[in-house]
């Protein structure tokens, strides 16, 4: 059973860069036809898809965040990472990492527990 765990600073200053890592256990980030993704949820609001990376390394990003987001994959460490630049208070949210699939008929079937990132000086 695949498990995911987010890690990174819980507090980031405005205009700085948010960096988070997701460590995968019980499975491989090299898995066939897998996508590794980041999703966030501001307090009291809905889920927002940030972006995803395929096992080949190709990426897709939410157009609303694309200019500030990078997702990378480190298969040797079985991890993938998120960087979000020029953060503001609007980026304060719980950030989740999750596993998805190339087949759209398969859901986001494994999620991390989420990590709260607060943007504040």
Partner 1 sequence: QSVLTQPPSVSGAPGQRVTISCTGSSSNIGPGYGVHWYQQIPGTAPKVVIYADTNRPSGVPDRFSGSKSGTSASLAITGLQAEDEADYYCQSYDNSLYGWVFGGGTRLTVL
For partner 1, the closer of residues 32 and 105 by Cβ is 105
Binding segment (CB under 8 A) for partner 1, from list 13-21, 25-33, 67-75, 96-104: 96-104
Residues between 5 and 44 that touch partner 1 (CB under 8 A):
37, 39
**Binding positions for partner 1, 55-84, rule CB under 8 A:** 60-63
Only one residue has tokens 């304060």, namely 92
Helices and strands of the chain, counted as H and E runs: 0, 11
- What is d(CA 65, CA 48) in angstroms, rounded to the nearest whole number? 10
Are 36 and 21 spatial neighbours (Cβ–Cβ below 8 Å)? no
Residues forming the site for partner 1 (CB under 8 A): 37, 39, 46-49, 51-52, 60-63, 96, 100, 103-109, 111-114
């Amino acid at each position: 059973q695949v498990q995911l765990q987010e890690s990174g600073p819980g507090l980031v200053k405005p205009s700085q860069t948010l960096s988070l890592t997701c460590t995968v256990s019980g499975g491989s980030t090299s898995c066939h036809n897998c996508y590794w993704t980041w999703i966030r949820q501001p307090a009291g609001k809905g889920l927002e898809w940030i972006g995803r990376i395929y096992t080949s390394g190709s990426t897709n990003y939410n157009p609303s965040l694309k200019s500030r987001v990078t997702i990378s994959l480190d298969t040797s460490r079985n991890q993938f990472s998120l960087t979000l630049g020029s953060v503001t208070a609007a980026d304060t949210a719980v950030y989740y990492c999750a596993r998805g699939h190339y087949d759209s008929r398969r859901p986001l079937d494994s999620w991390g527990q989420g990590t709260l990132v607060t943007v504040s000086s």
